[in-house]
Amino acid sequence: MSNILIIKHGSLGDLIQANGAIKDIKEFYKNRKVFLLTSKSYSIFMSECPYLDGVIIDKRLPRWNPFFLYNLKKLLSKYNFSKVFDLQNSKRTKFYKRFILGKMEWSSSETTLSAGQTKKDFDVYPVLDRMELQLKKSGIPTKFIKNIDLSWAKGDLSEIIKQYTNRDYILIFPFCSKKHQKKKWPYFKDLISKIRREYKNNYSVLVAPGPNEIKEAYELNAKIILKDNEPIDIKMLISLISDAKFVISNDTGPAHIASHLNKKGLVLFGSHTSAKKVSIENSDFKAISVNNLSELSVERVIGEIKKRLN
């Protein structure tokens, strides 16, 4: 029997958002094996996803590297795939369709387009709406695509909590990847100081840096969550967010996790995109959107926290 391939390279927020679509695909193909092609950095995490039968690592080397392309094509040919769900919808995956996986039935944003519609038109829709349209075009019922269940993705947090706090905590994500600095609000250090003064001993203020964010974390007036002096893994991060009293973040992966865990919190947006387009808001997790993040005051953010943290 043939197998099904899903392509989703990342980032973390993108993979979190794709969990519902992955579950819908697996529910539809219950009697077939479903595999995920993803980046190495997310392979261990996604290998524990109960809606997948396996994870294949894509090294994502330059597309002009013939040895890489040959080896990837050889690897994928072993799995007897008959259909590909391209949830990444990138130039790279379009290239894969043409040169590596072209003989298979393919689902992508381009196969979902209506007559006269371009990919640019399609990309205007919110992320989850796009995936929903794509799956429906393939005849797949979409029960979970907007009802993402991350219960499988939690780790044991007991030792970490015992080490860093003995009370409720506010979790803050002031970081951003180097290539997306326009997403970064510059006043988190001041915000943390104000939260500590405002709420005194009611809440701990915690930050959980990634691999390249530890040095920056030490410049903030907050407790830094690490395990053996290294960043916590994704499952522990999800658990940390799940147990938080309130979450404040830039538009990054942890914000998407908080949203799909229905946590109370705020995500801060500049003009790089909109909260609606990335499908991040719900009744408890709200966005503050401004044209220029450097003009968003600490007073406005702390005011929103006071309204929602109760």
Distance CA(264)–CA(13), nearest Å, equals: 18
Q: Is the pLDDT of residue 180 over 80?
A: no
Q: What pLDDT band is residue 177 in, cutting at 50, 70 and 90?
A: confident
Q: Is the pLDDT of residue 179 over 80?
A: no
Q: Is the pLDDT higher at 117 or at 303?
A: 303
Identify the pLDDT of residue 183.
Answer: 87
Q: What pLDDT band is residue 238 in, cutting at 50, 70 and 90?
A: very high
The fold of the 3-149 domain, in CATH, is Rossmann fold (3.40.50)
Q: What pLDDT band is residue 115 in, cutting at 50, 70 and 90?
A: confident
Across 149-170, average pLDDT: 90
Identify the pLDDT of residue 206.
Answer: 96
Across 21-33, average pLDDT: 97
Q: Is the pLDDT higher at 65 or at 113?
A: 65
CB under 8 A, 24+ apart: contacts of 46-49: 46/15, 48/152, 48/153, 48/235, 49/19, 49/22, 49/152, 49/153
Structure tokens at 158: 């007991």
The answer to whether residues 152 and 135 touch, using CB atoms and an 8 Å cutoff, is no
Distance CA(294)–CA(24), nearest Å, equals: 40
Q: Is the pLDDT of residue 222 over 80?
A: yes
The answer to whether residues 82 and 4 touch, using CB atoms and an 8 Å cutoff, is yes
Q: Is the pLDDT of residue 92 over 80?
A: yes
* Percentage of the chain lying above the pLDDT 70 cut: 100
Instruction: State the residue for tokens 């990444």.
Output: 88
On average, the pLDDT of the chain sits at 93
Identify the pLDDT of residue 91.
Answer: 93
Identify the pLDDT of residue 103.
Answer: 80
CA-nearest of 193, 253, 301 to 15 is 253
Identify the pLDDT of residue 38.
Answer: 98
Identify the pLDDT of residue 122.
Answer: 83
Give me the residue spans of the domains in the chain: 3-149, 154-308
Structure tokens at 111: 């196969």
Identify the pLDDT of residue 252.
Answer: 92
| CATH class of the 154-308 domain in this structure | alpha beta
Q: Is the pLDDT of residue 102 over 80?
A: no
pLDDT digits (tens, 9 = 90+) for 240-295: 999 999 999 999 999 999 999 999 999 999 988 888 889 999 999 999 999 999 99
Neighbours of 137 (CB within 10 A): 15
Q: Is the pLDDT of residue 310 over 80?
A: no
Across 168-191, average pLDDT: 89
pLDDT digits (tens, 9 = 90+) for 31-84: 999 999 999 999 999 999 999 999 999 999 999 999 999 999 999 999 999 999
Identify the pLDDT of residue 266.
Answer: 97
Q: What pLDDT band is residue 126 in, cutting at 50, 70 and 90?
A: very high
Q: Do domains 3-149 and 154-308 have the same CATH topology?
A: yes
Distance CA(103)–CA(151), nearest Å, equals: 36
For 184, half-sphere exposure in the C-beta direction (CA atoms, 13 angstrom radius) is 12
Identify the pLDDT of residue 265.
Answer: 97
Across 12-22, average pLDDT: 95
* Percentage of the chain lying above the pLDDT 90 cut: 78
